[in-house]
Structure 1
Amino acid sequence: MVKKSPQEVLKNLTELINKKKPKGLTVAMVKKMVENEDGDPKMSVNNYVMKTMKNFQSEKSIDELNKIVGIFMDFWNYWPHKSLGNKSPSDLVTKKMKKQEKCKSKIEDTKVRVGNAEMFWSNYELMLKRMEENQKPFKKWLKEKFKPNYFTYLENKYSKRIYETRRDVCNLFFDRCLYLGFTDLEKIRPEYAIIEFPCWWQTHVMWGSLSETRISGYIEDMFVYIYDKYGREVGGLFEIRKEIV
């Protein structure tokens, strides 16, 4: 990851505020939030994101919202915090990583818990590499066949706003599937697709206003397209969808 300077993130923040002109939010206010944050780190950053992003509720493009969140998070990560001794979170992470490099051999012998089992860190890394290798055909199919065709279909059928929303739901859904270790389309659990992912969206996509029912419907439509065009399906998905509608 490329390290950014305080001057760079301040410049990006200033340009954003000048361009978007959000009501009730200035560069000085954002600096004050970050410099004077206090309390539990997770709670502080959550409050910071909520306070800043509520000023951009009229922004409809998820791509643009992602850029805006990125600018605010960069400012949080690279701007000095008084609670950290006028250091940024990035400074502390860099310092910690240097210490970890010295203890690399010890880290490899550390045990980690994966589900209900324990394994050595080195074995865990090997497991992840094997999983990524097994996912390569699935990733290739998504990138080269499914997504180009599906996005063209959406673009021709829906308005720009609905097309972008359905596209983003699709992208995030398969990103999560790969992150969770599903190695092919047919290996995806139907409960995850129709119930768990729409629920996850509500607590992790802060700028999305889609209900669980709407997301579940978008996922169902996407798998109808996949079945019609490729003859592939996640067994039991449509039955579960019928039960919750």
Structure 2
Amino acid sequence: MSKIQLMSHLVAGYPSDELAFTAARALVDGGADILEIQLPFSDPSADGPAIQGACTKVLERHYKTADGLAFISKLHKEFPNIPIYLMSYGSLIYTPGLEAFCKKAADCGVKGMIIPDLPFDFDEGLTAACKANGMVNIPVAAPSMSPERLEKMANAGFPYIYAALRTGITGTETSVDQATLAFIKKVGSGGSKVYGGFGISTGAQSALLGDKVEAVIAGSVFVRLITEHQNDAEALYKAVRAKAAEISHLEG
């Protein structure tokens, strides 16, 4: 099987900046094409237990947005050819001002923003602020959206749309069935490229999605591996790299 584009999700600073960097290196070496870096947040609406737990641990260290951006900047310097998307929630980027935040993010090497709780058509100016700073806003589509609203998003001219492949929180396994594939087709019906994720944890799942999406998204599976091996950097690297290679079908 040919290589599948992989967007891998990491929580900045989890369980430490050093180990998060080790995990990022493992992801890239394992075939990740895009790094989606989440700024830790205390009250997430889309994250499952693995990611929420990771965020809590990082915030207990009094980790700030500036620390997360510094981590992203370091990643960009190490992997200049890997696009980095910043994932966060509206209040974190709205409080300092969208324009100011987007400029800072772009200066750190961020290429796109994923803010699940800002609706695509009431985004407080996020799309414009991203465009002004050479980034893209990547809105999130969910199967729970009405057909009319989904069609409106699909035809709104976004270069990319993040398709959450089921409702609810991420982390539990998603079955890729005909309904999933039909949803992906609707999301991309206006010409946007589609990133598909939520509950993707195996090579078998990604194989079903590989030719239907621009990239497969996986996150909680990596966070669980990082948690499991957080006391052994070498084991963490090997486990994360192996899982990324499985999902991306790096070895063909």
- Could you say which TM-score interval applies, normalised by the shorter chain? under 0.3
More strand by share: 2
Q: TM-score, normalised by structure 1?
A: 0.23
More helix by share: 1
Higher RCO structure (Cα 8 Å, ≥6 apart): 2
Q: TM-score, normalised by structure 2?
A: 0.23
